[in-house]
Chain A
Amino acid sequence: MTRPVDLFRTAAPISRTTLLCPGLYQHLNGDRFTGTVLFVLAAASVSALIFFLLSPSDPFEHRTTRLAIATIVLFWVALLSVLDSFQRPGRGALYLILLPAVILFSIFTYLPILWAAKLSFYDHNIATLVQGGAPFVGMENFEKILGDEKFWLGLSNTIKFFLIGFVLGQFPAPTLAYLLNEVKSAKLQTVYKCICFMPSLFSWPIIGAIWLWLLKPDGQFDQFVAPILALGGKQTIAWLGDPAIARVVFVCVGLWMGTGASALIWLASIVGIDPALYDAAEIDGAGHWSKFRHVTFPLLIPTWIVLTILAFIGMFSIFDQVIVMQNPLIRQSVFVLMLHIYEQSFRHGLMGYAAAMSLVLALVVLILTMVNLKISNKIQIT
């Protein structure tokens, strides 16, 4: 029995270029009508959104907000009901099942991102948020960023955080996964796993509080490492008072918290490697090293990529830890971009300027993630 759906299922696999234009995929696969309808709908919704974003009325009034939400709901209902008409009868309910997630996601995830774009062209402050009537300032907010020393300090600190985390984070998690994999007794392995995973159960205020206590001058950590420091001829180190090492200390606390969790992800992908591959390699005469080089290593690269990208996005939005653990002595070296954005918006009330900065941050993250993916695709091929 051929159902209309099968037309789509047997069609050519989706490629990146067809995603650029809604409806192109259907067009290329011979379904002109769906393609055209989808294109028209998408074009209409995009132009409606552009119109909405450029309209002189203030988008942050209650009325406009409701209008925006209504537009989104209508758009998705229309799109999904059109899709529905191409389905086998009786599948209409499917789209109603889909609807809540799509609408909630549009309103609470994507709409704010779009609004950040609009907000960044206005000189918004707390007063105009309530009363409306913020002046349109064009590119002024972005020009201001160029001359804002604190922005560049924040950006460079954020990048330094990522680089330190990237370098220090390469080694511990895979090693821990390797060690865990060598444990033969399943029960013992579970115990080790649980203990290693434990720190990542708690929120930053808790982890931060614990380490602030431990790292205090003359605190427990100092007493613990005093003999080691004495060997190096040093008395004490101000862990949280020395701008030179504060970033490394912060990253290390982050690693203490997160290594267990990422080690378990590494472990799952090590265990997931098909043993037949090792057998095959052995038959071909592969030793320990070439088994690692040609079987384990290539198969673990996807895990490495995913974890690196996640760490990357995490490091660029590092905020909780800094809020909890910073102090005036080390402020200059842990002053990250998110902190600057937070202070400009919620302390000084410069909403428009802060939105412009967060937009730049999002763009930097987006571009670097793309570059990251490109590079890692290359690694995968070779």
Chain B
Amino acid sequence: MTLRRPRKLIRATVIHTLLIAICATMILPFLVVLTASLKCPVLGDVMSPAQPDFFPQRFHWQNYLLGWRAGKLGVAFRNSALIGIVWTIGTVIVSAMAAYAIGRRECLGHRWLLLFFLSSLMFAGQTAIIPQFILYRALGLYDSLAIFMIPGAGAFTIYLLCHWFKNVPREIEEAAFIDGCGEWSTFWRIIMPLSLPALATVGLFAFMGSWNNFIGPYVFLETESKMTVPLAISYYMVASPTDEAGRAAAVMISILPVLIVFIALQRWFLRGLSLGALKG
């Protein structure tokens, strides 16, 4: 026993040291941008040896105002939030409906239907981007935010919800049928409320997917007033080579809300990833 103790201690120390080192590599890049965003914009490029100190001498909060204005982040945030909320709600409801019919009620051909949805994962999504461009043009949706609000039934969402719905106790549903509930009201009143945790997780990931979608807006949106956050950031980065401080501030502004949401909802994020692992 006495021999084992120090060994365990050494082991724990090594593991924690390694983990702290890894965490430092994850955090440091963000910290560098955070401090850079507060440096003096006039003294020279905030990202170069002109201002070598890690910490700024004085906090220049006006960078944030500059970044917000020059990056046109106000409009971008509004658009991204609008798209994200509408799309997420639509997608989660539509996917849950399909998952209910396929996974829970096992309608005729449920295996085929699941295969129908899952096969889309075999195609790299971006290869269809040209025909999509043409489809949206033909529907008169090109350069409109509506493209990103059309609920798409996510293959992965349906798959995860199918798994979840299978584990809801059968008795509840049978009791509902005896009480005269139809399929729709059973789904809406019984299954959906019981599945809120799964729906929240899936919805969170759907929202993140929409929020971080870059290639779609990059290809399908032209007008400046319709930009989303990733698009606004990427344009701002190439547009003004001089005001690094404002750009760093703009990046920080777009990071912060996501970070706050993540810290508030970290349980759901981590749960979502272990749900994803069920697949394996």
Contacts and interface: CB of A to CB of B under 8 A. Distances in A.
Interface of A: 5, 8-9, 14, 19, 22, 34, 60-62, 64-65, 83, 86-87, 90-91, 93-98, 100-102, 104-105, 107-116, 119, 129, 176, 179-180, 182-184, 190, 192-199, 201-206, 208-214, 216, 218-220, 223, 256, 260-261, 264-269, 271-272, 302-303, 305-307, 313, 316-317, 319-320, 323-324, 338, 341-342, 345-346, 351, 354-355, 358-359, 361-362, 365-366, 369
Interface string B123-145: 11111111111110111100000
Contacts of A180: 19
A194 B263 contact: yes
Given A93-B184, A100-B97, 18 more contacts: A60-B138, A62-B139, A94-B107, A97-B101, A97-B183, A98-B102, A182-B11, A194-B262, A196-B22, A204-B214, A205-B214, A206-B254, A208-B237, A210-B30, A219-B47, A317-B126, A324-B237, A341-B130
A219 B12 CA distance: 35
B167 interface: no
Given A209-B247, A269-B280, A195 B130 contact: no
Contacts, number: 293
Contacts of B115: 19
B270 interface: yes
Contacts of A112: 128, 131-132, 135
A305 B280 CA distance: 8
B32 A362 contact: no
Contact of B134 (A94, A101, A193, A351): A351
Interface size class of B (residues with CB under 8 A): 35 or more
Contacts of B138: 60-62, 64-65
B4 interface: no
A268 B274 contact: yes
B111 A14 contact: yes
Nearest to A337: B127
A19 B121 CA distance: 18
B182 interface: yes
Nearest to A119: B131
Given A105-B152, A108-B150, A213-B33, A268 B128 contact: no
